[in-house]
Amino acid sequence: MDQAPGSPQGPQDAASLPTCYRHPDRETGIRCTRCERPICPECMISASVGFQCPECVRDGSGTGHAPSASQPRTLAGGTVTADPRLITKILLGLNLALFLVQLSVGDRFTDSFDLIGRAYVPLLGGIEGVAEGQWYRLVTAMFLHGSYIHIAFNMLSLWWLGGPLESALGRVRYLALYGVSGLAGSALTYLIAEPNQPSLGASGAIFGLFGATAILMRRLNYDMRPVIALLVINLILTFGWSNIAWEAHIGGLAGGVLIGYAMVHAPRERRALIQYGVCALVLIAVVVMTLVRTSQLT
């Protein structure tokens, strides 16, 4: 089993960072380029120079012109939405719903959709696995869990990490980060782990969110010590506990760092091309790892 307890969100240095004027509980190092009030990632709207707050974008403050008709954008160029946690809520609900199905249907359901390379599965009565053409297991295993503590850790981490990232990236980019990071974790597990070793859990995707959060905090000049400390703790747990698919953690983390860097550092004029281009490159790596391992097993 793979777990990802903890959150890279942590207290900042109160002596040096002001708080967002719309969310007093959130410290930030970014200010609106028009009114110069401090704003957090949820309030940042991409402008031609720097970031602006929602009020300045809405009323065209300081420009002498009518309010802009362009759609407000997040830090990464995504669309600003009324509910910045919608995708996080949907992912959380999907994981919980499938866990209830696992509990009600039993091991036969789990054995049909967990990640396994190639092995005889007694409950299914035959040879099963990704090498048998069941590539869907790379995806379905991301939404299954092995115990109450397993899903509790992962869903708490998803809620803590997912909300701020979804606000900063926008829904489509955030969903791409989550899905591609999870697939990177599944593919590395398939490539390295024993073919008869089943694996399941959202931790590949969660570690992808972890890596992207570190990149985002660095981009916003936040204190990196909390996220570094929690990353070290999670890696110790990954390699120190038995029955943890460390391959999923490392694959997801690597994918999250690469995609997160592209999301928050891509130049404005080629932003979408670079962001989704890096996602495509990681997906190509997933396909290559899967083909290589399949050829080895068959």
Among candidate residues 157, 181, 186, 203, the one labeled active-site is 203
- Residue 57's nearest CA partner among 43, 42, 72 is 72
Known active-site residue 203:
yes
What single-letter DSSP state applies at residue 115?
B
Identify the residue whose tokens are 């606000």: 167
Report the alpha-carbon distance of residue 202 to residue 167 in Å, rounded.
Answer: 21
Identify the residue whose tokens are 């099963």: 128
**CB 175, CB 20: distance < 8 Å:** no
Among candidate residues 157, 249, 265, 295, the one labeled active-site is 249
Report the alpha-carbon distance of residue 143 to residue 140 in Å, rounded.
Answer: 6
**CB 206, CB 252: distance < 8 Å:** yes
User: Per-residue DSSP letters for 204-268?
Assistant: HHHHHHHHHHHHHHHHTT---HHHHHHHHHHHHHHHHSTT--HHHHHHHHHHHHHHHHHHHHS-G
Task: Just list the catalytic residues.
Answer: 203, 249
